[in-house]
């Protein structure tokens, strides 16, 4: 959409008496020439109607148990319901919205969960590995640069020093930056209870925002990522946020593409972030791209299948009018950057 200079000037200023004042522009004002208003969540309405203020409660009704080792943690978890505490960057913030007693099982110091190991076929990341340790690890940098790029955008240095990859996955927030690259790389999660050990693909683990398939007696102990083949892959991760520091991702796109000898797309993996009810591969767009050259004509042509996907998933949401054009442009830009890399 092209905006006239008059429209931009009207958006930039509003009149009060004889004076004009500058106001900040949002993206939807510039792009759509309108203001979108997010509906208040029922939980927020209830909370603020009771509190009459934005001040939240103190976290003074918490009981924490720290197990000696993983075996001890699973034993404790089998007998009583606990909420797992690792880095605490999500749990402690959420705890301030609760008044009831909260029982936390602190697994942050369990050494069994803090290692990154390499086998012949996969890389295994312990669930209590912090993001700072993850992004500085030479094995991860070598095999999964897109995961490093995504996780480097999380919070601040202080947050990354404390927050864990397992906590990021289990919390299942729509803005969880580690999840899209892990889906892209077909990662599996290893869940353990006192009585059993099971694996589940991360693409199936998160059901929707803040809801997963973990059982009350289970701990996520590790994330297994298959090693990439020797084929040359081109990666891109880009995200949209309100600011650079301490940013919460509004939308992201993770892309990985390989090319055949005829220079057409051979493999294609695209995963959204914070767009749908949970991050997922954009299979209809992937299938559209496979077998085609990655040129400007092909990139422009993804708009139709991508629009259909977005309309199907979130067409009735208040935010879809803004998210649809922005996410489509993000995808196009990511593909253009991959094309530029491939063509040298």
Of the two residues 122 and 16, the one the predictor is more confident about is 122
Question: Which pLDDT does position 96 carry in this prediction?
Answer: 77
Quick check: 342 pLDDT over 80? Answer: yes
Pairing of strands 265-273, 188-192: unpaired
> Model confidence at 176, in pLDDT bands (50, 70, 90)?
very high
CA distances from 181 to 62, 193, 269, 273, 281 (A): 34, 26, 10, 9, 10
Cα distance between the two ends of the chain: 31
Mean pLDDT of the chain: 87
Quick check: 3 pLDDT over 50? Answer: no
In the chain, ranges of CATH 3.30.390.50 domains: 234-342
Nearest by Cα to 233 from 300, 288, 181, 278: 181
Quick check: 276 pLDDT over 60? Answer: yes
Of the two residues 332 and 35, the one the predictor is more confident about is 332
Cβ atoms within 10 Å of 9's Cβ, excluding its own: 11
* Domain at 234-342, CATH class: alpha beta
Nearest by Cα to 149 from 248, 247, 250, 254: 254
Q: What is the pLDDT of residues 143-169, one digit of tens each?
A: 999 999 999 999 899 999 999 999 999
Nearest by Cα to 167 from 107, 80, 240, 244: 107
Question: Which pLDDT does position 39 carry in this prediction?
Answer: 62
Calculate what percentage of the chain has a pLDDT beyond 70. Answer: 82
> Model confidence at 21, in pLDDT bands (50, 70, 90)?
very low
Third-level CATH fold of 111-226? 3.30.465
Q: List CB contacts of 11: < 8 A, sequence separation 6 or more.
A: 3, 25, 29, 30, 33
Cβ contact 39:318 at 8 Å: yes
Cβ contact 170:128 at 8 Å: no
Pairing of strands 102-106, 83-85: parallel
Helix (H, G, I), strand (E, B) or coil at 237: strand
Quick check: 45 pLDDT over 90? Answer: no
d(CA 33, CA 37): 13
Quick check: 46 pLDDT over 80? Answer: no
Q: What is the pLDDT of residues 55-75, one digit of tens each?
A: 555 666 889 999 999 999 999
Question: Which pLDDT does position 271 carry in this prediction?
Answer: 98
Question: Which pLDDT does position 268 carry in this prediction?
Answer: 98
pLDDT average, residue stretch 195-224 = 97
What are the strands, taking DSSP E only, across 176-264?
188-192, 197-201, 206-208, 211-212, 219-226, 234-240, 251-259
Q: What is the pLDDT of residues 288-322, one digit of tens each?
A: 999 999 999 999 999 999 999 999 999 888 888 88
Tokens of 98: 């609760």
Q: What is the pLDDT of residues 113-131, one digit of tens each?
A: 999 999 999 999 999 999 9
Helix (H, G, I), strand (E, B) or coil at 270: strand
Question: Which pLDDT does position 15 carry in this prediction?
Answer: 37
In the chain, ranges of CATH 3.30.465.10 domains: 111-226
């Amino acid at each position: 959409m092209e905006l006239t200079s008059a429209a931009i000037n009207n958006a930039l200023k509003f009149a009060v008496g004889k004076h004009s004042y500058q106001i900040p522009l949002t993206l939807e004002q510039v792009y759509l020439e309108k203001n979108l208003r997010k509906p208040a969540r029922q939980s927020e309405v209830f909370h603020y109607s009771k509190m009459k203020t934005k001040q939240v409660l103190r976290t003074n009704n918490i009981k924490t148990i720290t197990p000696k080792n993983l075996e001890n943690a699973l034993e404790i978890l089998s007998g009583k319901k606990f909420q797992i505490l690792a880095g605490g960057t999500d749990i402690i913030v959420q705890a301030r919205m609760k008044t009831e007693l909260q029982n936390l099982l602190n697994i942050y110091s369990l050494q069994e969960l803090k290692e990154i190991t390499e086998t012949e076929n996969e890389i295994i990341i312990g669930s209590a590995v912090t993001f700072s340790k993850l992004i500085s690890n030479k094995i991860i940098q070598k095999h999964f640069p897109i995961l490093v790029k995504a996780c480097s955008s999380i919070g601040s240095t202080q947050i990354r020093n404390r927050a864990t990859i397992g906590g990021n996955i289990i919390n299942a927030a729509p803005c969880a930056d580690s999840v899209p690259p892990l889906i892209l790389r077909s990662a599996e999660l290893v869940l353990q209870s006192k009585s059993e050990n099971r694996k589940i693909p991360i693409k199936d683990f998160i059901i929707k925002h803040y809801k997963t398939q973990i059982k009350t007696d289970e701990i996520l102990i590790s994330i297994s990522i298959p090693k990439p083949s020797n084929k040359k892959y081109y990666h891109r991760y880009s995200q949209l946020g309100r600011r650079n520091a301490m940013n919460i991702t509004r939308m992201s796109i993770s892309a990985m593409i390989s090319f055949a000898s005829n220079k057409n797309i051979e493999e294609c993996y695209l995963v959204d972030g914070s767009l749908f009810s949970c991050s997922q591969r954009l299979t209809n767009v992937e299938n559209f791209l496979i077998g085609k050259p990655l040129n400007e004509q092909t990139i422009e042509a993804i708009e139709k299948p991508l629009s259909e996907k977005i309309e199907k998933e979130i067409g009735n949401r208040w935010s879809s009018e803004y998210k649809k054009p922005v996410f489509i442009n993000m995808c196009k830009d990511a593909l253009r950057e991959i094309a530029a890399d491939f063509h040298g």
